[in-house]
A and B are shown apart, each in its own frame.
Chain A
Amino acid sequence: QVQLVESGGGVVQPGRSLRLSCAASGFTFSDYAMHWVRQAPGKGLEWLAVITYDGKNKYYADSVKGRFTVSRGNPKSTLYLQLSSLTAEDTAVYFCAREERRSSIYYLDHWGQGALVTVSS
């Protein structure tokens, strides 16, 4: 069965960096675009970034463009999110999710359990 497991969360000081990982299993990772979504405490879902199946194209929400970098290692079936210049507003649970596509319809059909990032001095 499809499984996505995030890791790498924790407490980090403002201005520092952190890398999250998302280990995928149960499907052919290299066939799918992958997304990152976050949720600040008590808030709604915020879409952050997407990377195409081959890693060649990446797109970001304006709120994180220039600070966050999405990448992937297809041989390792792993998705990454590099977070930099972190501020307290980046405190959130970060989810990875798989994109499914039917014709021109897109949706996120499998999600990881989330990794908590807390930015605090």
Chain B
Amino acid sequence: DIQMTQSPSSLSASVGDRVTIRCRATQHIRNYLNWYQQKPGKAPILLVYAASTLQSGVPSRFSGSGSGTDFTLTISSLQPDDFATYYCQQTYTTPLFTFGPGTKVDIK
């Protein structure tokens, strides 16, 4: 089974900060990696698919990169609406998917 880890598990940041969240897979998953944002009490929202393709409507301050086992989600300038929990998801083992444990971004 492919396991996903994320680091850090939480972080505190200020509006305007550059934020980087990392996701690592225990095996190579090419670019079969997606990122989601979730706010409390809400459903997840797709941000990035195929490791680096921004979903339609997602602000350009979000970007994804990586391939193989190591991936990164970057928020270039953190906005008030970005305080949330972020999850990576591998789909290499489709039809079975796996989520990472999440990274909570809160206000410093």
Cα of A114 to Cα of B45 in the assembled complex, Å: 13
Q: Are A105 and B50 in contact (CB under 8 A)?
A: yes
Q: Are A59 and B95 in contact (CB under 8 A)?
A: yes
Query: In terms of DSSP, what is the predominant structure of the interface of chain A?
Result: strand
Within 8 A of A (CB), among B75-101: 85, 87, 89, 91, 94-101
Q: Are B44 and A45 in contact (CB under 8 A)?
A: yes
A64 at the interface (CB under 8 A from B): no
A35 at the interface (CB under 8 A from B): yes
Which chain A residues lie closer than 8 Å to B91 at the CB level? Answer: 105-107
Q: Are A106 and B98 in contact (CB under 8 A)?
A: no
Which chain A residues lie closer than 8 Å to B97 at the CB level? Answer: 35, 47, 50, 106, 108
A44 at the interface (CB under 8 A from B): yes
Cα of A82 to Cα of B100 in the assembled complex, Å: 25
How many A residues are at the interface, by size bracket? 20 to 34
A95 at the interface (CB under 8 A from B): yes
Contact string against A for B residues 48-86, beta-carbon threshold 8 Å, 1 for contact and 0 otherwise: 011001010000000000000000000000000000010
Contact string against B for A residues 33-48, beta-carbon threshold 8 Å, 1 for contact and 0 otherwise: 1010100000011110
Q: Are A102 and B50 in contact (CB under 8 A)?
A: yes
Q: Are B46 and A50 in contact (CB under 8 A)?
A: no
Which chain A residues lie closer than 8 Å to B31 at the CB level? Answer: 105
Contact string against B for A residues 78-121, beta-carbon threshold 8 Å, 1 for contact and 0 otherwise: 00000000000000000100000010111111011110000000
Closest to A35 in B: B97
Q: Are B32 and A106 in contact (CB under 8 A)?
A: yes
Cα of A33 to Cα of B85 in the assembled complex, Å: 26
**14 pairs of residues in contact across A and B, judged by CB atoms under 8 Å:** A37-B44, A44-B102, A45-B87, A46-B99, A47-B89, A47-B96, A59-B95, A102-B49, A107-B49, A107-B89, A108-B34, A108-B46, A108-B97, A113-B42
Known: A44-B101, A47-B98. 5 other contacts (CB 8 A): A45-B36, A102-B49, A106-B32, A106-B94, A107-B50
A interface residues (Cβ-Cβ under 8 A, vs B)? 33, 35, 37, 44-47, 50, 52, 57, 59, 61, 95, 102, 104-109, 111-114
